[in-house]
Amino acid sequence: MNVELRHLRALLAIGDEGTITDAAAVLRVSQPALSRTLDQLESRVGVRLVERTTRRLALTDAGRRLHERAHSILRQLDDALTEATAGARSLRIGFAWAALGDRTVPLLRDWREQHPQTPLRVHRRDDPEAALRRGEIDAAFLRTAPAADAGLEVRSLYRERRLVAVPDGDPLAERSALRLADLAGRPVVLCSTAATTADLWPDGQRPHTFEVANVDEWLTVIATGEAVGVTAEATEHSHPHPGVRYRPLADVPPVTVRLVWPRAATHPALRAFLDHVERAVGTVEDRAGK
């Protein structure tokens, strides 16, 4: 198809910025030149990639797929060029919420001691699954199952019990454990970066829910008494808050903690990291039974 890197960079900028004007500014080219580059790309791949009207611009389904792959292709190219001059880059591990809770620091310290030649960096991402597909990270810890067609490998590590986060001073905070029925009539706040809660209630019994953007907003909403939250056990360790108390939720299934990575590994040390994680947490007793 004779697609060039400049074509992919053009689509990337358009998809990321949302307008031809902003994308042209990022690329430091004129708007007519960028439009011609996009026309060339669409002509060479043979499909419409961007729907353009006088009022809006949006990627088509084909455009979204190629936009995501372009992220990965260009990221790998940048990594290869960097490694050619500066040596191997760090291994990048992502998470959305709480990584592995109290297991995180021991895991990372042991890796540093056993693999001093391969630095490891941890990155919080609002959508680790998308970050994996784009090549921004090499593996991620997830508490939701990735889409079946995402091109990702999955290793289930262990399970965590669920907790209820309630305001300090709330009557629910005085109980040793809670049940879903105890939350009846309470608004439940969900976090867009780590939603594992919405399907816990039977049909017709789901409480009022609303969504916030990140863990800091989630904690603040709960601490001020506006709502309660349901989360995984690692949150209590990774996100303590003086205005929030965590209590076990007894009548719901536990959360599965997964390690996820691309089928085509993006770092030569990834296999060693997968084995390292399995040795560290793969034999840990299931906490849901405690």
Residue pLDDT, tens place only, 109-137: 999 999 999 999 999 988 888 888 888 89
Topology agreement, domain 5-84 and domain 88-159+255-289: no
- Res. 275: pLDDT tops 90: yes
Fold observed for domain 88-159+255-289: D-Maltodextrin-Binding Protein; domain 2 (3.40.190)
Yes or no: say if 225 and 170 are a contact pair by the CB < 8 Å rule: yes
Yes or no: say if 226 and 244 are a contact pair by the CB < 8 Å rule: no
Q: Give the architecture-level CATH label for domain 162-248.
A: 3-Layer(aba) Sandwich (3.40)
Sequence ranges of the domains in the chain: 5-84, 88-159+255-289, 162-248
Least confident of 142-151, 167-176, 275-284: 275-284
First to last CA, the chain: 58
Mean pLDDT across 270-286? 79
Measured distance CA(224)–CA(230) in Å, rounded: 16
Report if pTM > 0.85.
no
User: How buried is residue 17: exposed, middle or buried, by Cβ count under 10 Å (0-12/13-18/19+)?
Assistant: middle
- Res. 283: pLDDT tops 60: no
Buried b (16+ CB within 10 A) or exposed e, 76-108: eeebeeeeeeeeebebbbbbbbbbbbebbeebb
Which CATH class name applies to 5-84? mainly alpha
pLDDT digits (tens, 9 = 90+) for 236-264: 999 999 999 999 999 999 999 999 998 88
